[in-house]
């Protein structure tokens, strides 16, 4: 099975695709003559809905914990924003069909549960210490000594640069 097929089989990715499709349906019912909703809700909601599956794919293609967590953080942010954006449409008189709103928020709730399990499956031992301190595995601090500092490395030896040129 190809990496792409594996990604498409992932329940989290499948749920993200459902969220995208529902969001697309929701923005279709926003009246075209309502410039405010078209420029804000539609644009931002579609952006968030597209980011989620893209970042899942990004996280699935890397092995390092810190890069996976960085993608997971963006996914969480986009899903939460989309949830709030959809909820705010409940108060717009221009949106008469509330079914898409409720369906989208339900799907995001289900996505959150899959997301929790997905993140728990990240390999905490496959990491490069994050000097900013945001995406280190549990027990690793940005103030800790980096174990890679003990590895002698001279880039000139590795790359064989000649200074004679």
Which CATH number covers residue 90? 1.20.1440.60
The mean pLDDT value for 39-62 works out to: 94
Q: What is the mean pLDDT of residues 41-67?
A: 95
Full domain range(s) for residue 31 = 3-129
Q: Rounded CA gap, 136 and 149, in Å?
A: 17
> DSSP alpha helices (H): ranges in 89-163?
99-120, 155-159
Is 160 part of a structural domain of the chain?
no
In a domain, 51, yes or no: yes
pLDDT band at 147 (very low <50, low <70, confident <90, very high): confident
pTM of the entire predicted model = 0.85
What span, in angstroms and rounded, lies between the C-alpha atoms of 36 and 43?
Answer: 10
Q: pLDDT tens for residues 118-127?
A: 999 999 999 9
The number of distinct structural domains making up the chain is: 1
Would you say residue 155 lies in a domain?
A: no
Q: Answer with the residue of higher pLDDT: 91 or 18.
A: 18
Is-contact 52 19, C-beta < 8 A?
yes
């Amino acid at each position: 099975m190809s990496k792409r097929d594996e990604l498409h089989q992932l329940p989290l990715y499948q749920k993200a695709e459902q969220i995208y499709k529902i969001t697309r349906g929701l923005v279709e019912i926003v009246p075209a003559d309502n410039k405010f909703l078209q420029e804000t809700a539609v644009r931002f909601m579609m952006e968030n809905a597209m980011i989620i599956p893209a970042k899942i794919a990004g996280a699935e293609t890397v092995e390092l914990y810190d890069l996976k967590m960085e993608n997971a953080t963006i996914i969480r942010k986009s899903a939460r924003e989309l949830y709030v954006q959809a909820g705010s449409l409940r108060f717009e008189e221009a949106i008469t069909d509330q079914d898409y709103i409720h369906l989208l928020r339900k799907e995001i709730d289900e996505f959150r549960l899959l997301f929790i399990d997905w993140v728990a499956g990240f390999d905490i031992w496959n990491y490069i210490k994050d000097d900013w301190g945001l995406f280190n595995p549990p027990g690793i601090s940005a103030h800790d000594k980096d174990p890679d500092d003990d590895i002698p490395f001279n880039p000139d030896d590795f790359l064989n640069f000649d200074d004679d040129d």
